[in-house]
């Protein structure tokens, strides 16, 4: 189960401590830079589309199974599968973004909390009937 | 970027041709069987929770960049990043499920279109404010 990088994130966010936890908490716009050999997979995407972006959170910890939710500073930890912590056995980031612009194999999106250089794993269209049923 | 299997799907669905394309198209209930060494990551999940399940679609094709959408039988193909085709460079399945029951490290969920034996990669809680913003 080996992932290939299909591109990377270009962002002004450089540091995990500076990044918002979720895109709608003040994250900046970013560019998704798709590698030329995967450019054909972008065909059909247009400005205004809502996408689910999957990334590889390469600065996360993989040996963490329980964390304290950020809403609490004390008290019990809970399992990472019940949280959106980046630290988890398979650190795949899931980000909902809106396409603002396409420029060849570069896709500009609105608020994205992923750090500069984060590998891109997949893009999927948001299906309202499924993802929001 | 090597994924670890944190468990597998137990389902009555055995064959890709028999499986619905999406969970809400008549897919059966299924069990998520989490490996004992990852059981601690389930802590905090309860019946009624809505989860995003990430799987490794091990019967998909990885060298496909364009497909014809299933809504059309003729006409142009489009890029897999603009479709939910399982055939794509990184065949990660994204499934929205509701937890029906927990039994130790086994989680029973409602309608899931993943095939029996499909490796599980991650579970995340659905965040309505993010995933449905």
Per the CB < 8 Å rule, is B83 touching A54?
no
B131 CB-near residues (< 8 Å, 6+ apart): A94, A96, A131, A132, B52
B65 contact A CB<8A: yes
What's the pTM? 0.91
Structure confidence at residue A130 as a pLDDT band (50, 70, 90): low
> How many angstroms separate the Cα of B20 from the Cα of each of A129, B13, B64, B86, B117?
15, 9, 20, 12, 16
Question: Which residue matches tokens 């399940």?
Answer: B53
Compute φ and ψ for B19, nearest 5 degrees.
-80, 140
Per the CB < 8 Å rule, is B44 touching A79?
yes
Mean pLDDT confidence for B10-23 = 84
Q: What is the dihedral of CA A43, A46, A51, A56, to 10 degrees?
A: 50
Per the CB < 8 Å rule, is A40 touching B132?
no
Per the CB < 8 Å rule, is B40 touching A90?
no
The span from the CA of B29 to the CA of B14, in Å, is 13
A83-122 residue pLDDT tens: 999 999 999 999 999 999 999 999 999 999 999 999 999 9
The predicted complex's ipTM stands at 0.90
The bridge status of strand B7-10 relative to strand B66-67 is unpaired
Per the CB < 8 Å rule, is A125 touching B83?
yes
Query: How big is the A-B interface in CB pairs under 8 Å?
Result: 155
Q: Which chain B residues are Cβ-neighbours of A132 within 8 angstroms?
A: 131-132
B102 contact A CB<8A: no
A1-42 residue pLDDT tens: 999 999 999 999 998 787 787 777 788 999 999 999 999 999
Q: Which domains does chain A have, with CATH numbers?
A: 7-127 (2.40.30.70)
Report whether pLDDT(A128) > 70.
no
The span from the CA of A116 to the CA of A114, in Å, is 7
B71 CB-near residues (< 8 Å, 6+ apart): none
Paired strand residues for B93: B55
**Residues of chain B numbered 9-48 and touching chain A (CB < 8 Å):** 22-24, 38, 40-45
Average pLDDT, chain B: 91
């Amino acid at each position: 189960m080996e992932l290939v990088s299909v591109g990377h994130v270009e962002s002004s966010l450089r540091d995990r401590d500076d990044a918002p936890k979720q895109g709608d908490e003040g994250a900046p716009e970013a560019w998704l830079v798709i590698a030329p050999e995967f450019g054909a997979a972008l065909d059909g995407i247009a400005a205004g589309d809502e996408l689910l972006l999957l990334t590889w959170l390469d600065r996360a910890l993989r040996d963490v199974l329980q964390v304290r939710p950020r809403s609490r500073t004390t008290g019990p930890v809970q399992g990472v599968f019940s949280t959106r912590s980046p630290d988890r056995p398979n650190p795949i980031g899931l980000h909902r973004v809106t396409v603002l612009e396409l420029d060849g194999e570069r896709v500009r999106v609105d608020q994205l909390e992923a750090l500069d250089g984060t590998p891109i794993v997949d893009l999927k269209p948001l299906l309202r009937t499924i993802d929001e049923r």
